[in-house]
Structure 1
Amino acid sequence: MKHLPKHLQPRWRYLAVAVESWPDASVDRRAFQREVWYAAQNLLGDTGSAEVDLTVIAFDRTDGGAQAIVRTRRGSAGEARAALACLDSVDDDPVGLRVLGISGTVRACEEKYIRRPPEAPAKRQVVFENQDRRAVERGVRIDVHTDDAFAGATALDFR
């Protein structure tokens, strides 16, 4: 089978996406891809999601989050961002997504927006609601383990 001429080949854009969740969440690539497809289909319909053609190219999971590169067709980056904004959970774990940037190649996307590995979480003990509790610290964010879930806080909440 012959290749298409260059002017007929599809053009792509690559979105760098930061995924944040609670420290005990287990977000993997397959579940994230499935939820991206469902979000696009629910927002844009069958034909719209097929035109946008969202595909997870790279996925790097860490404790409480991940970094991903999502491929979309050129000219549909706005629809892709809107579909990603509709995603609020992966496998019943709540997630927050942030599009770090858009690029024309995978390499440029990695170099510009996913340069360094995310900060490693530190575990420590804090006093929260007058009790000594376990916490996971990621930069300025602190996730305090309560009785059955996590509560989000910042360093200012403990001073």
Structure 2
Amino acid sequence: MKHLPKHLQPRWRYLGVGIEAWPDADLTRGAFQRELWFAAQNLLGDVGSADADLTVLGFRFGGGVGETVVRARRGHADEARAALACVDDVGGDPIGVRVRGVSGTVRACEERYLGGRAGHSGKRNVAFEDADRTAYSRDGALDVRLPSGFAGATQLDFEP
């Protein structure tokens, strides 16, 4: 089977996406892809989601932060942004998704919008609710582990 001529090949746009979740969340590329497809189908319908053709590329996630590249057909970047905004839960873990930018090539997208921009995370002990608790710090925000889950806090919550 022959390849299509260059002027008939589909054109793509690549969205650099940042992902944030609780520190104990375990997200995979497949689970994120599935939730993105469901969100696009619910928002755009069968025809619209098939036309946008959203695909997750280069997924990285660990320690509560991650990043990925999402491929969409040219002319459907706004629909891709809207579908990404509808993704709020992956595998039972609540997540936050932020589109950092849109590019015409994967390489430019990775260089401009990805590459460790998620921040550095660390672990420390804090006094919270009259008890010593474990907290995961990330760019001035703290996720404090409680018996019922996590609570979000900032450095100002712990300063005297």
Q: Deviations over 1:28-58 (max 9, x none)?
A: 1110000000000010110010001100011
Q: How is 1:138-153 mapped onto 2 (pairs within 5 angstroms)?
A: 138-153=138-153
Q: CA deviation at 1:5?
A: 1.1
Describe how 1:11-22 pairs up with structure 2 within 5 A: 11-22=11-22
| 1:120 aligned residue | 120
TM-fit CA distance, 1:115? 3.1
AA in 2 matched with 1:102: V
Unpaired segments of 5 or more residues in structure 2?
none
1:49-128 to 2 correspondence within 5 Å? 49-116=49-116, 118-128=118-128
Q: What amino acid maps onto 1:97 in structure 2? A: V
Out of 100-109 and 130-139, give the one that drifted further: 130-139
Question: Which 5+ residue runs of structure 1 have no aligned equivalent?
Answer: none
Please give the secondary structure, in 2, of the residue aligned with 1:125: strand
CA distance in 1, matches of 2:62, 2:126: 23
Q: Deviation per CA, 1:56-89, whole angstroms, max 9, x where unpaired? A: 0110112112100000000000000000000100
1:117 Cα deviation (Å)?
Answer: 5.6
TM-score for both structures, normalised by structure 1: 0.97
**8 Å Cα contact 2:26/2:62 also seen in 1:** no
Q: Which moved more, 1:116-125 or 1:4-13?
A: 116-125
Q: CA deviation at 1:158?
A: 0.6
Q: Verify the 8 A CA contact 1:14 1:105 in the aligned structure 2.
A: yes
What one-letter code is carried by the residue in structure 1 that aligns with 2:17?
V
Matched with 1:47 is 47
2: CA distance, partners of 1:119 / 1:113? 13
Please provide the CA RMSD for this pair. Answer: 1.0
Identity of aligned residues (%): 60
Tell me the equivalent position of 1:34: 34
Write the distance in 2 (CA, Å) between the matches of 1:3 and 1:144.
54
